[in-house]
């Protein structure tokens, strides 16, 4: 079999087993599983390690007599692992939407040292735990004669489950209850996006999608204009924006503003700062919303500032949570499916986030697979 044949065969087996809740892989040691578990858990941040280990496993399956520690052809008894990765492994990884390098794992200097991948390999692979898992796994199937196919199969099962748990399906439901939508949004907002910037913008996109619907369905917003979203927070005196979301009158004057905080308890200072943004405008209403729990907020002083603003300016300032606000807005809509359509649309736009690579990290929980909630962002990866 060719390298690609091995990849396809093991992948298909992994697909079948991944759908079973209690699959059993006999002959795979606990130590090997532990090493694979850790490598997959770091697969987004250590793609090179993943690419190299899969290449070595496939090469060992294709040619059991090859000592895969000698990964350069110029080494004694060596072979060109990088060529195989570039030709077979990385293209396959991209085709099935697994974490993949742009070209090859051997483009990473710490893995490209011209020395064998034994337990004394000097490359500075960080963190230390990933280096240990990587070298120990190689030792297990090269020196300890563990079955490389079993290891590759288990690795692919984990990658399939990881990918499918985070994938957002193409179909969009037309009859989700508001409670179901709120539950799914909460899971989307609070999923683990590691240290990728931009995920905190998701609640803003949801609120904006709700406003887009209300502009079309709620009488209060007849004749009003929903301003376009900015790439970043730009509510300051220089930009002329008063919030993360601005609604203007038809003549361009400010009508309503919304500022959305992510996991930040709103304080009286936040309210005062917001006032500075709209005090020179005839703003009718201003919302300060947060995903944080406001149960222990300084409500007495928040309300004092709100009352003072109402007396001086006349604007009604409303401090509330993102979730109750969204719930109320969705109740105003005659068609919540439109809200889902808009939210999907803006989640997919790279202009709203600080890094295009962020799309690899937009992960919906596995529950969404059962109801096909929203369209896949993986179309941006390849």
The span from the CA of 113 to the CA of 264, in Å, is: 46
3-state secondary structure of 152: helix
Q: What burial class does residue 136 get, using C-beta atoms within 10 Å of its C-beta: 0-12 exposed, 13-18 middle, 19+ buried? A: middle
**CA 25, CA 16: separation in Å to the nearest integer?**
13
Tell me the C-alpha to C-alpha distance, in Å, between residue 277 and each of 235, 257, 261. 7, 10, 16
Neighbours of 22 (CB within 10 A): 4
pLDDT in tens, 142-155: 999 889 999 999 99
Among candidate residues 255, 256, 274, the one with its CA nearest the CA of residue 264: 274
178-380 — its CATH code? 3.40.1350
Question: What is the model's pLDDT at position 164?
Answer: 77
Q: pTM of the prediction? A: 0.52
Domain ranges within the chain, ordered by starting residue: 3-166, 178-380
Spatial strand order of the sheet with 285-290 comes to 225-226, 245-248, 254-261, 285-290, 316-321
Start-to-end Cα distance in the chain = 27
pLDDT at 370: 31
- Hey, CA dihedral for 358, 351, 238, 316, is it positive or negative? negative
- pLDDT value of residue 380: 28
pLDDT of residue 367: 33
> Which stretches of the chain score pLDDT less than 50?
168-171, 232-235, 237, 350-382
Q: Find the helix or strand (DSSP H, E) in which 247 lies.
A: strand 245-248
Contact 197, 355 (CB under 8 A): yes
Strand partners, 225: 248
In this prediction, residue 345 carries a pLDDT of 76
Q: Look at residue 349 in the predicted model and tell me its pLDDT.
A: 59
pLDDT tens digit sequence for 61-119: 999 999 999 999 999 999 999 999 999 999 999 999 899 999 999 999 999 999 999 99
């Amino acid at each position: 079999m060719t390298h690609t044949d091995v990849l396809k065969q093991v992948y298909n087996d992994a697909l079948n087993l991944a759908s079973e809740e209690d699959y059993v892989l006999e002959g795979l040691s606990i130590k090997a599983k532990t090493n694979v578990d850790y490598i997959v858990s770091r697969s987004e941040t250590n793609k090179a390690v993943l690419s190299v280990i899969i290449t070595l496993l496939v090469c060992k399956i294709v040619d059991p007599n090859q000592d895969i520690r000698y990964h350069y052809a110029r080494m004694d008894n060596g072979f060109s692992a990088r060529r195989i990765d570039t030709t077979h492994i990385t293209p396959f990884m991209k085709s099935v939407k697994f974490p993949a390098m742009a070209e090859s794992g051997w483009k990473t200097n710490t893995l490209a040292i011209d020395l064998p991948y034994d337990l004394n390999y000097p490359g500075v692979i960080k963190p230390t735990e990933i280096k240990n898992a990587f070298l120990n796994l190689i030792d297990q199937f090269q020196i300890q004669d563990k079955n490389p196919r079993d290891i590759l199969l288990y690795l692919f099962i984990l990658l399939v489950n990881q990918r499918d748990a985070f994938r957002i399906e193409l179909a969009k439901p037309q009859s989700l209850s508001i409670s179901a939508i709120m539950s799914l949004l909460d899971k989307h907002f609070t999923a683990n996006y590691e240290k990728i910037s931009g995920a905190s913008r998701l609640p803003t996109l949801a609120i904006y999608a709700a406003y887009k619907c209300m502009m079309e369905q709620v009488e209060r917003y007849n004749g009003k204009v929903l301003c376009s979203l900015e790439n970043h927070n730009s509510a300051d005196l220089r930009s002329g924006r008063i919030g993360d979301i601005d609604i203007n009158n038809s003549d361009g004057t400010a009508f309503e503003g919304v500022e959305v905080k992510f996991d930040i308890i709103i304080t009286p200072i936040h309210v005062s700062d917001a006032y500075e943004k709209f005090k020179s405008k005839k703003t009718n209403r201003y919302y300060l919303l947060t995903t944080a729990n406001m149960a222990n907020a300084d409500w007495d002083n928040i309300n004092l500032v709100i009352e003072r603003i109402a007396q001086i300016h006349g604007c009604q300032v409303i401090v509330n949570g993102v979730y109750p606000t969204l719930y109320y807005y969705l109740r105003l809509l005659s068609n919540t499916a439109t809200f889902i359509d808009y939210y999907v649309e803006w989640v997919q736009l790279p202009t709203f986030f600080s890094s295009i690579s962020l799309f690899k990290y937009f992960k919906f929980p596995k529950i969404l697979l059962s109801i096909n909630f929203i369209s896949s962002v993986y179309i941006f990866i390849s």
